[in-house]
Chains A and B, each alone.
Chain A
């Protein structure tokens, strides 16, 4: 009897799928009938790897339609790592794996695991909403960009709207383009309305818009639709939110704290836009500083149905308390089962958590007496308690101290400059004159009087020259003042007053020659360069004439500098780019314009030539160089302060006492700002002697100290927000370590293999091997299917690939590398990849494989011991309220007979074998008893993996039930809220006798009821079902 699969010459037809005996990964299609040469039959085979060979017929066997990995093993048909990689890649490129991060290594950013945490959290969020409340400088813009990249790759997201304050528009555009390859347009209300309308009607080819709050926010009289484009936009948004499904793919509201005043028009804009987005992202570094009230306001805007009122929010915070304590206890202590159950009891007393299936499951685990000393059990329980946390789905918060693995030290050098007699004379003359003027004019406002004082403190020469020669209408910005400057008119008159009194009283040249501050400055920077040759230094001063003066003096001393004052017609970033070049000037002289939104981490030293009194302004300045990405171990901050001035007292009694320079202030801006405003006003508008000034400053310092203490307590409480921390970050870091992302080579293999197998007439011509450039001409059938897909998914315009012309493409996963007119970039979100995924989902062409691989010692993951491992890799699919697809690797150490409990470790063994492993050749012949034993063992392992899937399915089912409950609850609230609002308008029309409008409102009400009913039915009907399929099984030897 002939062995199964044997091909005889007489039944060897072109088109027959075959594979090579002993090399089962080599599969192909017979192209011509066989011929006999020297008594041996040969046949021409078109192999799937692109080779076309005359192959002996006895070396081929029929390829069965349905393969089974365990049976393949039993027959000794082992394949190598490349087959494992192909199968894993196939699953990953479907774009549905829940635990795969598709945005990893795609952007022009350094890898920082915490920046992917928001990506995973948003995907997990049942309401698709997230508030990112990271501390300043951790890269919220990058996190938003990663989320956008992820949504494009997973779901083909096409419409993005970023709303931000005006000064952040250039930063958003630059970052999205430079780091993520996203072309944005800046648009006003009219264009935003037009684009949203297109998206709503599904006519849009996609857009990425950056708009300002100012341009979009509705005016107070927005109910009059025609008063302005913003009114028209507000009108439409209001109309759509009542009856439409969300149609905007991603809405990003940056500096969302702006919306904290519920009554403001900006907040109303948030309320109108948010319901229309599928995914909603609020960014704010400061949601906490004025206690929970602000956080509530933001969350209500973000997710009004979960956070309908302050009381509910308070209940949620209260309900979370025991869960946080439970998590901390299991992670950091040695808890007893009773202690944990007590926390759980308290949590379940909350009506919000009493029905939680996740907690019910957790209780079951705890009462079952699981081993609480086992790290895996502890991590799982902690993770489960985090998942039950009602805030963890909506807020993510990362603090610098939690993620900064290489914290940068701040070396603060404060240089006190004794004033020479002539300088002292000028300083006190100006102080006296300002007080005299204020008294004479009966002025109490601080802003007027403060400017000359501050200017002299900044630079005596520059200030005097200003009084002596400058025009009277100069109007400098004082960074310490945030109140309305309209109340501070009359500055010009004061300058005129000073000019009259001071003109000619001092010799400019003499002042220049005896400029103690500049001399100290020069000495300090030279000393710095002795220790850090060539180091870049950023010098800040808020008074522009000071900067021009410094530029002039440095030039005389043959030191190059670059000015950043806002007077240059160039963009800020252009100037920074110039400064960043190694061969460029070593000093940047910047006004306050450079203290926001710029990344200067390539410099490691900064000089405060003058001292803003508001510590937050100083913090902003330092934040330019003390950022994630700073490569130096320490940064140097140099403060220059003139002795005997009020600046010195501010420094000694405020900065020094609170040690403000050494600690990042994080989120204290809103607290510090008003306190310092008040202090500044008092110091300069009241005629206080030195001691009184010191007392006044002390009072502010005490108040600040108290506030800082309160903030620290709040921060401790904010651990409710920091849930979902280490576990997720560790998972992300592990995925990165094992190189678990898709690269250009993967994309090339995926596309080439697909067309070779499915549409072989498609012409794919290699052009450049190192750049992965190919020319693609789709054959008629492929082109037809592709066009149909583009039409169906409304992706026309996103690619120029078609059956009508050849098109050059480059396979590159890095989305920030933009293509050219001639060459289109194919990355994982490209329509071609999505088309292939879509096509293969229907027609799965990749078959399960038996694998024998080994990992050479240099590539063995650190967490894995050398030895032999058996593994089964499965695709787990769960359909329900939330669809879930993941790759599960069940790994068993054959040396110890223990399963690998840590999923990250198990994944690393399989993933590393796939990417860096080698084939184990010389497999035993079929019939060998060992193969039977091995397949039996692997059969058991597959059985265990199936059982693990059943447990996973049950857990997901419970979580889905929880989600179902939350969504139904939210839907009911939404319906009630909208119905009340529509009812209110209807009643007003009814009272005013506008019957046609009453009818329209009735119609809206009915439509709302129908929509909610349908939605309710849909949620209730969603059953959780699942499926698991083995895609590979075998063994891996790690050296």
Chain B
């Protein structure tokens, strides 16, 4: 009897409880559903609306397949720049490298070529990037540290010893001094007996993003752009397989820009170069096919894929409608991608292998032409051989073991991806309009606008991490007390001494009168506003050094100072 009463009274209690709480419980339930369906952690600066849980045909109801997507390899190239994409040829696995002396870099090149890398990519040290010879006082402590020191023709020859220039494609990550490095390359090719039209490669040579993001600049904007157009003109005539500019968004993203800002600023830089080249008198279809791009691939997977697709569509449209391009080749946006350096963590570095994999996937699904995957130890130092190898293998596994390269633009038609691609394009157009209202990219840079925008995005990203609105595994969540020691690459100090000695010797063992003459001629050409490439090539052949060329040109062009209030 007691049991019955007990059970019954329990049931009574339960019903009583439920009745009293019914209202609140039902309310709570609705709130809970709403809260749980909301995205918790939003990637800072992302344009993905956080409250939208899924997408439907309604979201892309105005999509016109022929106009907005089209076939791969045909304008507007949204689905890819080539008809066969990876079915015909895989993306180029191009790993950035270079450090210490030219001799060691040459050995690392040969190592990577033997292990299946298909293109060479060179990183230069800070003095080379900024126009100082290794023996200059300002170069102290920085020679060979972030890349290879190349300030003399002999350095370049050592770099490419036993590497036939007609058999490789070389990408040089170099900016204000790019025209000099190109001159070195041409001189080495001539010595090897390779005709210029056979040379394949790229110089980054994108000064506009330097003013905005990476801050490797020497001269003010106008003369810097003039030198770039000199290289564009020279390459369109003599080195047709060379990409004279790699219009870059990578660094803009690394400096803290959002995905949209990366997209918009990069394309605007590209439009600016095209504008100046056309003003020089070049025919757009003669040089545009040689332009290439360089983007970042970060952890916001879908947004990145949409970014790449939108980039192709926007470029194709602008080239045709605003710049009057007639050849399809001029409308093709070809790009190299590097996985995001700024996403790498020093904490639990092995996790970076996974990050790099996800970012590589985004780039491949986005249709990149070549890809560099970061090594896991790059938040610490320059990568070791082991780490660099894993990064390369990451690409090879995706390429060979998965079905991802087998179908072109597999995500096309996804309600989400097409919606996002459209949104990327709209947001980018808003930024284009703003910059045009300011008088163009050069004006905007002088005003400091893009620089300020990026500073702000960078600060907001950091705040999001600090406030845990954005979780970074191992950094602000899932933190460990770490003892994992990763072996890192150290540059021994003898490297700098050796290079300085070599440069000093080089300067002694040459005809210094000829050197003086070539510098004179170069300077006068600059004063007369002539194309500097032929003069630079003659100068480097006469053993003029990189630092000497820059010093001479500073006399004509002056130097650039950043505008104030960039924060």
**A and B found bound together:** no
- Interface set of B (CB-CB < 8 Å, partner A): none
